[in-house]
Amino acid sequence: MTAPIELWYWPTPNGWKISIALEEMGLPYVLRPVNIGAGEQFVPAFQAISPNGRMPAIVDPDGPGRAPLSIFESGAILQYLGRKSGRFYPADERGRVEVDQWLFWQVGGLGPMAGQTHHFRQYAPAMTKDQRHLAYGVQRYTRETNRLYGVLDRRLADRPYVAGDYSIADMAIWPWILPQAQGQDLSHFPHVADWVKRVGERPAVQKGRALGAELRADLSASGAAAEAARKVLFGQTAR
């Protein structure tokens, strides 16, 4: 029997992409938690798998040629899992390009911009006494996230999923639509709201989204533990 895929993971939007994909594709996996608030992403054993020191990452014991394969970067992982399972990633070139466009839109656009929105709206207020310095960051990234919600809303106006059929692109984008944390009102984006509900009703999405929920701490909270975790995450230097 083939050994399960190792999922190096923490319950964040980028982690949820891969847990959702593994559940959707029915691929057996074992959880390897990476506590990013405790600095476990800097452990040499993990950085051998993920040189950028970021989760998620996977190790597939049954990689190409039956040899183990480690992969970092969530977009690359999703493409690999789609090819491996033969599901949610078209085999034809036109269909695959359609999915890739929206996958990279999330990886290069929505994820980084929404991530900065989270930082300035949720975490930064607990990290500085002078709140005046936060105003520009809050405004800049909240507005850009709003623009990206608009792009997605227009895309979903005439189709149920971003690339036509449900795909790894939906799995990548859905975890990053967190309107409350991002200062957005989904009533302004009705097609996104419908899509969020449609995708969120899938049992595999619900299971993947819930994976490791008990592990996560509130990094916007006060207290020594939260402050220490913020220093690890947001005060990182090369090691």
Q: Identify whether residues 175 and 226 lie together within a single domain.
A: no
Sign of CA dihedral 184, 190, 192, 197: positive
Q: Which amino acid is at 82?
A: G
Examine the domain organization and report whether 182 and 225 are in the same domain: no
Are 171 and 165 in contact, with CB atoms under 8 Å apart? no
Cα torsion through 103, 107, 109, 113, rounded to 10: 140
Q: Based on the structure, what is the number of domains in the chain? A: 2
What pLDDT is stored for residue 120 in this prediction? 85
Question: Residue 237: pLDDT band by 50, 70, 90 thresholds?
Answer: very low
Per-residue model confidence (pLDDT) at position 133: 67
Residue 209 lies in a domain: no
Which residue, 152, 142, 146, is CA-closest to 191? Answer: 152
Question: In this predicted model, what pLDDT tens digit does every residue of 1-57 receive, in sequence order?
Answer: 679 999 999 999 999 999 999 999 999 999 999 999 899 999 999 999 999 999 999
Query: 179: which residues sit within 8 A by CB, 6+ positions away?
Result: 149, 185, 186
Mean pLDDT of the region 184-205: 98
194: number of Cβ within 10 Å: 14
pLDDT interval class at 222 (50, 70, 90): low
163 neighbors 104 (Cβ within 8 angstroms): no
Three-class SS state of 236: coil
Helices (H), 88-179: 93-105, 111-118, 135-155, 168-173
Is residue 77 located within the same domain as residue 99?
no
Model confidence pLDDT, tens digit, residues 198-212: 999 999 999 999 999
Residue 172 to residue 74: CA distance in whole angstroms: 8
In a domain, 13, yes or no: yes
Please indicate, yes or no, whether residues 137 and 228 belong to a single structural domain of this protein.
no
- The answer to whether residues 74 and 168 touch, using CB atoms and an 8 Å cutoff, is no
Is the per-residue pLDDT at 233 higher than 70? no
Residue 176 CA to residue 138 CA, distance in Å, equals 17
Give the mean model confidence (pLDDT) for residues 78-103. 98
Relative to beta strand 57-60, strand 69-72 is antiparallel
Q: Containing domain of residue 70, as a range?
A: 5-87+221-234
Mean local confidence (pLDDT), 170-181: 97
pLDDT digits (tens, 9 = 90+) for 113-171: 999 897 888 777 766 666 666 788 888 999 999 999 999 999 999 999 999 999 999 99
User: How large is the average pLDDT for residues 85-109?
Assistant: 98
Once rounded to an integer, what is the mean pLDDT over residues 163-187? Answer: 97
Cis, bond preceding 56 (omega within 30 deg of 0): yes
Instruction: Identify the three-state secondary structure at position 186.
Output: helix
What pLDDT is stored for residue 238 in this prediction? 41
φ, ψ of residue 48 to 5 degrees: the values are -65, -25
Is 212 contained in some domain?
no
189 vs 217, residue with greater confidence? 189
pTM over 0.75: yes
Instruction: Report in angstroms the alpha-carbon separations of 239 from 10, 13, 43, 51, 111.
Output: 21, 25, 10, 12, 25
Which tokens is 156 given? Answer: 């979903």
Check whether 224 has a pLDDT greater than 80. Answer: no
pLDDT value for 239? 40
Do the domain assignments include residue 196? yes
What's the CATH code of the domain at 144? 1.20.1050.10
Cα dihedral 96, 207, 85, 67 sign: positive
Q: How many CB atoms lie within 10 A of CB 37?
A: 19
